[in-house]
């Protein structure tokens, strides 16, 4: 029987990270994903010890890696006392079962890791139910894996949420759980939709963007509130809405959960309320971490999700954050100015460059938001007089 060894109190689990280099995912792209996976693992509370990557035409349908590389991984696990193997792609149920049998340790894939982080971050009953629904839907096709009864496991990352308490993990019970959670969430969704409808004749804006780009910090500054903002992935799960006033224009601003590459389908479907805030927004404020080397890919990932949910045609202002990280020296400042010029030309000026932490260029930011929001307001609510009370 597979059992995790007991960990000393406060000792992080030791993990290895495993990825594939393929024609669809070259070496550079694979390394970017692995770096992101390492940050995900750190956010989940585990310690990354080593990275294993293998060039493959396509992942092995049985074990993801080839037999030789799997032997290398297995030997390292035994020598270095590794607790978890984390794969950078979603494993099929059969791959998961086969790999656990070979490695004899806990095996997670990227989807399971993200779900685990969401479980640890959920602070409200609604968010917890959303995460539980996603976890159960992930669990359902994997009930025949080696660790069928989750109560045998001893906790740690990948085991939060339903895995800690669910004992009888047969399909009927899981399906009943999924059905019950969907009904509960549908009821809350209707209530939240009603609340959104009662917000009055105000323009609705939504902060969107990749995870950990500074949306909550920007929200705090604009609204003078105190939303949790951390240098961790998915610090925000629950949608927060604040009333903002710029000059004479009040509008509603929603801070939404961050997106990520390879975002699990279960989460996209489960986090309906966040997506509804985006769908029903009049204006999208797309925050981008300009200091991140993969910021273009991050923008593309967000754009793809917006397209999937039918909101890509909404008015959008792209807010490039963390410009202070690019201009710490004269050479960096010059390069930052060149990048800003290139981006501004490409986006036809529909962007702004700021530092949310240092409040740099906030006058320009507020002016651009005001111009967009006031135009929308005049079109939607032409008889509201407060727009015309300012000179």
How far the first Cα of the chain sits from its last, in Å, is 76
Q: What is the pLDDT of residues 179-212, one digit of tens each?
A: 999 999 888 878 877 766 656 678 999 999 998 8
CB contact at 8 A, 116 and 42:
no
123 or 356, greater pLDDT: 356
pLDDT for position 279? 86
Point out which residues pair with 209 in neighbouring strands: 287
Of the pLDDT bands very low, low, confident and very high (cuts 50, 70, 90), residue 148 is very low
Other Cβ atoms within 10 Å of 75 Cβ, number? 10
pLDDT exceeds 60 at position 258 = yes
Is the pLDDT assigned to residue 152 strictly greater than 70?
no
Nearest Cα residue to 221 out of 324, 326, 351, 365:
365
Question: Rounded to the nearest 10 degrees, how much is the dihedral formed by the CA atoms of 346, 350, 354, 359?
Answer: 170
Domains and CATH numbers, the chain: 14-123 (3.40.50.11060), 201-388 (3.40.50.300)
Average pLDDT, rounded, for the chain? 83
- Band (256; pLDDT cuts 50, 70, 90): confident
Average pLDDT (356-373) is 94
Q: What is residue 384's predicted lDDT score, i.e. its pLDDT? A: 64
Mean pLDDT value of segment 247-266: 83
pLDDT of res. 119: 84
The C-alpha atoms of residue 113 and residue 115 are separated, in whole angstroms, by 5
- Is the model's pLDDT at 96 over the cut of 60? yes
pTM (predicted TM-score): 0.78
Q: What is the pLDDT of residue 390?
A: 42
Of 307 and 385, more confident: 307
Q: Is the pLDDT of residue 388 over 70?
A: no
Q: What is the CA radius of gyration of the chain?
A: 23
The SS3 call for residue 209 is strand
Task: Name the pLDDT band for 149 (thresholds 50, 70, 90).
Answer: very low
pLDDT at position 337 is 85
Q: Which of 256, 254, 229, 259 is nearest to 242 (CA)?
A: 254
Q: What is the pLDDT of residue 189?
A: 77
C-alpha 210/C-alpha 277 separation (Å) is 16
Which residues have CB under 8 Å from 287's CB, separation 6+?
207, 208, 209, 213, 214, 215, 218, 319, 321
Does position 72 have pLDDT exceeding 50, yes or no?
Answer: yes
DSSP 3-state of 226: coil
Q: Can you give the pLDDT at residue 120?
A: 83
């Amino acid at each position: 029987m597979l059992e995790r060894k007991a960990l000393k109190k406060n000792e992080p689990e030791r993990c290895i990270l495993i990825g594939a280099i393929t024609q669809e995912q070259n070496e550079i792209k694979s390394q970017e994903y692995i770096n992101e996976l390492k940050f995900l693992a750190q956010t989940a509370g585990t310690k990354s010890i080593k990275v294993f990557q293998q060039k493959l035409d396509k992942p092995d349908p049985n074990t993801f890696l080839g037999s030789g590389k799997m032997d290398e991984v297995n030997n390292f696990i035994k020598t270095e006392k590794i607790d978890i193997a984390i794969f950078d792609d979603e494993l099929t149920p059969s791959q998961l079962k086969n790999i656990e049998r070979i490695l004899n340790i806990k095996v997670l894939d990227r989807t399971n890791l993200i779900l685990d982080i969401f479980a640890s971050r959920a602070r409200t009953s609604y968010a917890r139910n959303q995460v539980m629904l996603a976890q159960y839907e992930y669990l359902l096709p994997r009930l025949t894996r080696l660790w069928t009864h989750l109560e045998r496991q001893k906790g740690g990352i990948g085991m939060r949420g339903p895995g800690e308490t669910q004992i009888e993990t047969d399909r009927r019970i899981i399906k009943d759980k999924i059905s019950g959670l969907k009904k509960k969430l549908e009821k809350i969704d209707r209530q939240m939709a009603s609340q959104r409808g009662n917000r009055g004749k105000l323009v609705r804006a939504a902060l969107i963007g990749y995870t950990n780009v500074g949306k909550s910090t920007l929200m705090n500054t604009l609204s003078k509130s105190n939303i949790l903002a951390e240098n961790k992935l998915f610090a925000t799960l629950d949608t927060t809405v604040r009333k903002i006033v710029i000059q004479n224009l009040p509008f509603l601003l929603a801070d939404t959960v961050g997106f990520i590459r390879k975002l699990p389908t279960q989460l996209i479907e489960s986090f309906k309320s966040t997506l509804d805030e985006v769908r029903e927004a009049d204006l999208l404020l797309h925050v981008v971490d300009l200091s991140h080397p993969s910021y273009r890919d991050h923008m593309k990932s967000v754009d793809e999700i917006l397209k999937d949910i039918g909101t890509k045609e909404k008015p959008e202002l792209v807010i490039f954050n963390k410009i202070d990280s690019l201009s710490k020296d004269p050479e960096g400042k010059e390069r930052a100015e060149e990048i800003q010029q290139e981006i501004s030309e490409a986006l036809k000026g529909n962007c702004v460059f700021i530092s949310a932490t240092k409040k740099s260029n906030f006058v320009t930011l507020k002016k651009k938001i005001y111009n967009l929001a006031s135009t929308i307001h005049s079109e939607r609510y032409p008889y509201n007089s407060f727009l015309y009370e300012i000179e």
